[in-house]
Structure 1
């Protein structure tokens, strides 16, 4: 058992200030200042993570976009859009569209629906062509 007057307390590093051994200060538990920094990817998505208020040179210049995964910069929306993506992040659907035509997709879908109907998962009248 830990003695209640022990100097060791469960505090999270870097989140509060005034967490020394003496807990008698008035500002104990005061939140550290934070800043929100905006980043824009080439597709124009804005990502705004929150950082501790640090010197400008310690805040990252590049951050991954939360929507598309592409690198995002702090230069501003116009600068990020001008850079463009040459061979960046692609979604699964984009890769599929590169490999298959629209007619291929229709054929695959029709085959999958027929298999489901044959197993009795889909009723015959559901999604039938008129």
Structure 2
């Protein structure tokens, strides 16, 4: 059995066939702005091409993080951007917590949280095996 599909598949409700959506004119001005494609190279040789509005050269960033490896990339392929110092490398939330608290502090915080859960009856002692 063959099911017919309506001719309106893929169109929005309220839009006649062959006509543009009503809010299309809102975006047409933005699409006409002049743009430029700027290449960036990291020290590993990865090339990234980004699209910017056509602005004066000093308003376009000289460095950009490489999306492939995370290293800084520059606009000059012969002189890649300097690598970041080790203290500027990406840190996770856990890394920041470890900077603020020692292992002993973490044990105290955990013990306090477990005690509050036990007092509310949410966490029975037999689940943790510390009777």
Question: Counting helix residues as a fraction of each chain, which structure ranks higher?
Answer: 2
TM-score (norm 1): 0.45
